[in-house]
Structure formats: C-alpha cells, structure tokens
Amino acid sequence: MNERFAALGYRVHLTEDDGVWIATARRLDSGDAFGPPIPGDGAGEAAASLVGWLEWQRAHTTALTALQAAESVYHRLAADSFGTVDGDARRAAVREALARVDNLRRQLDDVRGNRPWPH
C-alpha cells in the first residue's frame, strides 16, 4: 500500500480514535497535508479509501488540465478566424477543436462521476 502512496507523491499517516481509523496524506516533497481525512473501520480500509481518493484526484486534475488546454486552442482558433479569408480550412480547424473540447468535457464528466468518498 505504501508503494501506491509513494507513486502518487504522498505518504499515509494513520491514527485511531475510539475505534475509528483516520487516514491522511502528506506530500513527500514538503510534508504538507493534502486531501480530506478519510475514516475507516480499520487502518487498511482507511488507507485504501484514501489512496483511491488520491488516484481519483490525479485523474481529475489530468482531465481538467487537458480540457483547459483544448479550450485554449479552440478559443485561439475561433478568435483568429475573424477577419481571415481562408474560410474552409479555418472553419474545419475550429470544428475539430470544438469536437475535442466536447470529447474532453465528457471525459472529465466521467471522471467526476467516479468520485470516491467523500461526496
């Protein structure tokens, strides 16, 4: 389990309070806390839930970054098309860029739909 945390750039900290285990993540580079504290009935359950949340967070960040980059390309192409005479090629590029934005938006929605605890 610790290898999964390390691969994501974190270490897990587990504490027990009145029979409830709490898993928290700390960044390997700075030691700063990251993410929510995740409770569980046992240390393994809490750690597994936390690593699942961290993996989801990474997937969400990756999907959001890709969408933002595609939106930037689309906006640049759409803005450049004003006053341009080579219409067909430009319109095709804008359509392709918009289709990529839509595809990446759907992918981000899928990632968000798979969000683990906490909701």
Give the model's confidence band at 105: pLDDT under 50 very low, under 70 low, under 90 confident, else very high: very high
Residue 53, pLDDT score? 94
For 4-40, the pLDDT digits (tens) are 888 999 999 999 999 999 999 999 999 999 999 999 9
Residue 118, pLDDT score? 58
Do residues 50 and 43 make contact, with C-beta atoms less than 8 angstroms apart? Answer: no
Give 17: exposed, middle or buried? Use CB within 10 Å, 0-12, 13-18, 19+. exposed
> Across-strand partners of 25?
12, 34
Beta-carbon contacts of 90 under 8 Å, excluding residues fewer than 6 positions away, are: 77, 80, 81, 84
Give yes or no for residue 85 having a pLDDT over 70: no
Give the model's confidence band at 3: pLDDT under 50 very low, under 70 low, under 90 confident, else very high: confident
Residue 82, pLDDT score? 65
For 38-63, the pLDDT digits (tens) are 999 999 999 999 999 999 999 999 99
Q: How far is CA 44 from the centre of its chain?
A: 24
Q: Pick the residue with more confidence: 36 or 84?
A: 36
pTM comes to 0.82
Question: Can you tell me the distance from the alpha carbon of 75 to that of 61, in angstroms, rounded to the nearest whole number?
Answer: 21
